[in-house]
Structure 1
Amino acid sequence: MNITPQALIFDLNGTMIDDMHFHAKAWFQILNNDLGAALTWDEVKVQMYGKNSEVLDRIFGKGKFTVEQVQKLSVEKERRYQQEYFPHLQLIAGLANFLENARQANIKMAIGSAAIPFNIDFVLDNLNIRHYFEAIVSADDVTDSKPDPETFLKAAQLLGVEPANCVVFEDAPKGVEAAQNAGMASVVLTTAHTQEEFSQYFNILRFVQDYNNPFIAELLPVRV
């Protein structure tokens, strides 16, 4: 498996920022307090993948809400998430240096996330890192969410790099599955899931807690 990639594709939530607890908290409030779903914390956590509309469909059944209702619930969920998380907003340790080193090594980079643009903009602009990314693929840019490979394949296409020459950074099993379906290797951030939850996948290069792991530097060309 190629470990000197031409492009790096980053999931966002839980991968670049350690914020999944705040997403879970916002969903927990919306689903239980606002919508009466009566779910446990663990039941909410396991549903947190894909587009917001897909989360609602999985829990309540397709067609339960109108398009307008889904949009309103989605915006309210993200508003609560951003308000709660903003005081804690920061990149995962070591990522700032890695992004700069990758840029200097002329490695192309993209965001491939199931987040809506509202949330992607919240992170990129408040942390002033938008300039590192040549392409951004959000929930609004795809028909099928992860584990479908569309998100990552579109990112690779926008970068002009073959899938086999991309490495994906992910934190969730469905994201790793999407990368595998796209023919891409993955590095897994263990911010939200244990290694055991990824046992069925064969495209994982390494599990890391953060970007200070020595393996991360090995992904970039050696400077001479």
Structure 2
Amino acid sequence: MPIRALIFDFDGLMVDTETPALHSWQEIYAEYGVTLSVHDWAVTLGANAGFDAHAHLVALVRERDPLLAEQLIAERDLILARRQARKDALSADQPLLPGVAELLAEAHTAGLPCAVASSSSRRWVEGWLRRLDVYHAFTTIVTADDVAATKPAPDLFLTAATRLGVPPNACLVLEDSPNGILAARAAGCPVVAVPGAVSRQIPLPPADLILPSLAQTSLAELRARFG
């Protein structure tokens, strides 16, 4: 079926917030002499659950220093707040990733509606879209606040398709994460994988097309490929 809408992931696809998310935790782990690997972290990509970084930190520290591990448990809220502040600081100056603005402009010119489907909160996603002056480019924005289950469940993409008034198999999904690709597949959407700085370090499920960057394609090329 010809492509009648585009559905964009947000984190890692439009803006590289995934690197600050990982690095902010890695810095805290390093303070306690342990390491957070990208492979342990990978389950979180595209999802908002599935891995408790603080609990993992406690488990690693407990192997070396049980008393310190108990201290970390007592200081959980403080550590989480400190990590969030560091993530926000590392994210603050991140720009739109290459090709995003151009693809949105091409879609606007062609009259092709666009949506965002993100496992992050509405406050996080809309704040970024407004800051980067692309909020107006989207017909609808679907976030974790709108569905019962986030990626890899299909709910976000199915909700976006319903709001767009377009069948899922006519909505082309642009994704960077394993959970996002699985969710798009489950929703029956064709999916283009655009691995980000973090997700390119891990295996990805099969996608209909893999691109190194959205700057390496155009709307015309995508419509020709999937039309």
TM-score w.r.t. length of structure 1: 0.77
1:144-199 alpha-carbon deviations (Å, 9 max, x no partner):
1211101110111111111011010000111101000000011111213349823x
- The alpha-carbon distance between structure 1 residues 15 and 33, as it changes in their structure 2 partners (threshold 3 A), is same
Q: Kindly state the Cα deviation for residue 10 of structure 1 after the two structures are TM-superposed.
A: 0.7
Query: Does the 8 Å contact 2:173/2:192 carry over to 1?
Result: yes
CA distance in 1, matches of 2:34, 2:111: 49
Give 3-state SS (helix, strand or coil) of 2:133's partner: coil
- Is the helix fraction higher in 1 or 2? 2
Query: Does the 8 Å contact 1:110/1:136 carry over to 2?
Result: yes
Q: 1:1-224 residue pairs with structure 2 within 5 A?
A: 2=1, 4-29=2-27, 32=29, 38-49=34-45, 51-56=47-52, 77-87=83-93, 89-191=94-196, 192-194=198-200, 197-198=203-204, 200-201=205-206, 204-214=207-217, 216-220=219-223
The structure with more radius of gyration: 2
Give 3-state SS (helix, strand or coil) of 1:219's partner: helix
Structure 2 unpaired stretches of 5+: 57-74
1:68-122 alpha-carbon deviations (Å, 9 max, x no partner):
x9999777654432221212x2111121111011011111111101111232123
CA distance in 1, matches of 2:48, 2:5: 28
CA distance in 2, matches of 1:195, 1:136: 28
Identity across matched positions, percent: 28
Cα RMSD (Å) of the superposition? 3.1
- The alpha-carbon distance between structure 1 residues 75 and 185, as it changes in their structure 2 partners (threshold 3 A), is farther
TM-score w.r.t. length of structure 2: 0.77
Structure 1 unpaired stretches of 5+: 61-68
